[in-house]
Amino acid sequence: MGEVYRKERATAPPGFFAAEADGLRWLAAARAVPVPSVHEVTDSSIAIDFVPTGEPTRAAAERFGHELAALHRSGAERYGAPWAGYIGNAPMDNTPMDDADAPTWPAWFVERRIQPYAREAMLSPDEQRAVDEVCDRIDELAGPPEPVARLHGDLWSGNVLWGADGRVWLIDPAAHGGHRESDLAMLALFGLPHLDVVLAAYDEAWPLADGWRARVPLHQLFPLLVHACLFGGHYAHQAATAARAALRAA
């Protein structure tokens, strides 16, 4: 066994590190993008492989684009996951919905990802109206049907490690079955080195549906609402701006 990295948090909410461990193991099972192995998990800690880091390179970005497409394409049985999730410090409801109630991603996305955080985000009336309109028009905004993808779920640049081995490693997942454009939109939210190379390689490996760039704000609405719940401030405004952009793109 190589060097181990241990994260500890005495006040971790129930299931916090278990969700991380379940997500890492589930992503690893796809044998696509490398993730650290889990060595031990308790209520207050997790021990995983230490990943030596290097510099971002175009070669690593291109490989990552191909591998991320393979990860997504490995799929999931249903939207959600069989474990209670977290995204950052926020609980995330991964409960699947019965096919009779929500046979498609749009309905699941509204019920499990948009509405719970919009209720907690302290949006102004105008901001709330924009989010509500997205929910009302979700079938129109969502684009063509996609197979259920195996998502990292919190794929911002801080959870992307450029390894010393020349590969990209993924850490700190909020893993679940969802829409593949959600991971790609998260990569763009806070910026990533060589993102254009990653996206081009991804599209080469598994071509994206027409109009996917116009749907980026729709998929960014969820993480922005989460940030509004956790940090307040300008994130509520950013979430409403994303909602309005998604509506204009329709």
Catalytic residue ranges: 154
**Buried residues in 221-249 as b, exposed as e (16+ CB within 10 A):** bbbbbbbbbeeeeebbebbbbbbbbbbee
Phi and psi, residue 49, nearest 5°: -55, 140
To 5 degrees, how large is the angle CA 114–CA 193–CA 185? 20
Nearest of 197, 199, 192 to residue 213 by alpha carbon: 199
To 5 degrees, how large is the angle CA 167–CA 29–CA 107? 100
Phi and psi, residue 195, nearest 5°: -60, -35
Give yes or no for a contact between 166 and 90, defined as CB atoms under 8 angstroms apart. Answer: no
